Copies of this chain bind each other. A is one copy, B any other.
């Protein structure tokens, strides 16, 4: 079937799916868990085919590891699906209720967005995670996974679709696209797709953002800073910087640039440089930094570089204002950290830094849906519209306004015969 027909089917299904109750959606999630376990042999066999092809094509260690889908990974995603059952349904919440006049009641109710397009890279776990998040939030899903994982993804999508349809979920709510050309077609289908969530490299996400009129939720870059203020506790600063940089270097919430107040730099930097070098971090510094600790120079380009690696650029700043200005200029609006014992400096930082996450005396690595207690993470958004930072199920819903009357007409109000009460209920 071609892309537009698949997407049209998803759109039709989305209308019915939006009206499915919590109990039905949870029953469908449970059926997915059961079916994934029951059909594990077929799924793992499909993955073996993908792995063999990938090896033959010369794929290397970490990529192969992400592509691999074994018993343990399967069990992990099944447990994820089961935990989704326990989460509160984000759909159907009364967000506001107002009596406009006697007998004329307005209710703002959360509802699914509609059709979500998700484009992700090689990991097949993502297919299960994303499709079940969409199902729980009542959205139809059009998915495109990495082409290396095509056989695994086909099996997973088949098992999930079949299990849910048996429980009474409308057919066609889950569609799998298979080629890069399909993705380009999808980007033009703004009449049918309401939101696109791209997961992948910066360049890839940027490409998606600039090639569609559909709303895109995600982040192209995670250029995060730690600013160590004059009034910082040195031991705390060392801990927070080392964790922010090295706890997991290849992720968007790892720190890339360290900003240090000039007053604390001479006492902090020699210790911190040792800590980081013990963890094999390569340091790049501004001139003032290099006067304190010998290291390679940082260039202007470094302030705009997301290394995603064991590299940290370091800049000494005159004061907090310079740190805030640097962050607002070079940061990606993802996660920004201040280390200080000065409450006023912290409050200033938290109010003037324009980022999804602004942290005080803790590691940038806490920027994550599970750590935030959101239950399940749809993604991390650096947009400033709709959802920002780690996004849970609430990022997959919008609302509609329901108004119930008894033949009420506007002419009565426009001509002064009736008056609004606007009483909150």
Q: A residues bordering B, Cβ < 8 Å? A: 14-16, 18-19, 98, 100, 104, 106, 113-114, 194-195, 209-210, 213, 215, 217, 233, 235-236, 239-240, 242-243, 247-248, 328, 346, 350-352, 354-363, 365-367, 371-373, 383-386, 388-390, 398-411, 413-414, 420, 422
Contacts and interface: CB of A to CB of B under 8 A. Distances in A.
Nearest to A217: B385
A208 to B, nearest CB: 11
Given A357-B403, A401-B356, A247 B409 contact: yes
B407 A240 contact: yes
B384 A113 contact: yes
Contacts of A14: 354
Nearest to A357: B401
Copies in the complex: 2
A408 B15 contact: no
Given A194-B384, A213-B209, A363-B408, A373 B243 contact: no
A400 B362 contact: no
B113 A352 contact: no
Given A243-B409, A414-B247, A360 B195 contact: no
Nearest to A364: B410
Nearest to A114: B384
A361 B114 contact: no
Contacts of A18: 351-352, 354
15 contacts: A15-B328, A16-B352, A104-B366, A106-B372, A210-B213, A215-B383, A243-B410, A358-B400, A361-B408, A362-B409, A363-B408, A363-B410, A366-B405, A385-B398, A386-B386
Given A194-B384, A409-B239, A403 B360 contact: yes
Given A408-B363, A410-B247, A385 B100 contact: no
Contacts of A243: 409-411
A362 B407 contact: yes
Given A366-B403, A366-B410, 7 more contacts: A14-B354, A18-B352, A215-B385, A235-B407, A247-B410, A247-B414, A356-B400
Contacts of A372: 98, 100, 106, 401
A366 B400 CA distance: 14
Contact of A409 (B240, B351, B406, B420): B240
Given A114-B384, A385-B194, A360 B15 contact: no
Given A239-B409, A243-B409, A407-B233, A373 B420 contact: yes
A420 B99 CA distance: 42
Residue of A106, A114, A328, A357 with highest tally of chain B CB at under 10 A: A106
